């Protein structure tokens, strides 16, 4: 036996609902980038992409039902990437 507790099972219905939400957000992304928002297009697209990833991670990857350790570690990894990109911009933006 490999589990210490009964694993959480996500039903097909819920998974399909998430999928539909993802498709809707995809449509939204395409729409929002047709608008004339200038540089905010990028931020808008990134925001929606983040929302989509959030859904994939939370439900498809079961993160919503995992313990705090895994969530914390994911946060650390994302923060690290954000810092790598962000700190580079101290150079890129101010040359």
Partner 1 sequence: MNHAVHKDYAGAKLGMWLFLFTELLLFGGLFLLYAAYLSRYPHEFTAGGRELDVVFGTANTVILLTSSLLAAMAVTAIQRDARGRTMLLLGGTVLCAALFMLIKYLEWSAKIRHGIYPNSPGLAAGPPGESVFFSLYYLTTGLHGMHVLVGGALLTWVASRVRSGAIHGGDYVLLENGALYWHLVDLIWIFIFPLYYLIL
Partner 2 sequence: MSRADQAEATASSFWNDTGRTGIASWIFSTDHKRVGLLYFYSVLGFFLIAVALGLLLRIELMAPGRTIMGPQTYNALFTVHGVVMIFLFIIPGFPGAFGNLIMPIQLGARDVAFPRLNLFSWWLYIIGAVTILTALFTGGGPPDTGWTFYVPFSSRTGTNVSLAVFGVFIVGFSSILTGVNFVTTIHRLRAEGMSWGRLPLFVWSLYATAWVQILATPILGITLVLIMAERLLGTGLFDPVRGGDPLMFQHLFWIYSHPAVYIMILPAMGVISDIIPVFSRKPIFGYKMIAFSSLAIAAAGSLVWGHHMYTSGMSDTAILVFSFLTFIVAIPSAIKVFNWVSTLYKGSISLEAPMLFALSFILLFAIGGLTGLILGAAATDIHVHDTHFVVGHFHYTILGGSGFAFFAAMHYWLPKFYGRRYAEKPAIIAWGLMFVGFNITYFSMMVLGLKGMPRRYYDYLPEFAPLNLASTIGSWIMVSGLVLLLVNLFRGLLKGEPVGSNPWGGATLEWSIPTPPPTENFAEEPVVSHGPYDFKGAGIP
Binding stretches for partner 1 (CB under 8 A): 1-4, 7, 9-12, 15-16, 18-19, 22-23, 26, 29-30, 33, 39, 41-42, 45-46, 48-49, 52-53, 56-57, 59-62, 69-70, 73-74, 77-78, 80-81, 84-85, 88-89, 92-93
Q: How far is the CB of 12 from partner 1 (least distance, A)?
A: 6
Residues making contact with partner 2 (CB under 8 A)? 69, 76-77, 80, 83-84, 87-88, 90-95
Are 48 and 32 in contact by the 8 Å Cβ rule? The answer is yes
Are 24 and 18 in contact by the 8 Å Cβ rule? The answer is no
Q: Which residue has the tokens 């729409």?
A: 31
Are 66 and 58 in contact by the 8 Å Cβ rule? The answer is no
């Amino acid at each position: 036996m490999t589990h210490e507790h009964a694993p959480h099972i996500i039903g097909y219905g819920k998974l399909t609902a998430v999928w539909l939400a993802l498709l809707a957000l995809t449509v939204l992304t395409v729409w929002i980038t047709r608008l004339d928002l200038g540089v905010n297009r990028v931020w808008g697209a990134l925001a929606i992409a983040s929302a989509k990833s959030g859904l994939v991670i939370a439900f498809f990857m079961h993160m919503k039902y995992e313990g705090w350790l895994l969530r914390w570690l994911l946060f650390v990894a994302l923060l690290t990437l954000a810092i790598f990109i962000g700190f580079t911009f101290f150079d890129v933006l101010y040359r």
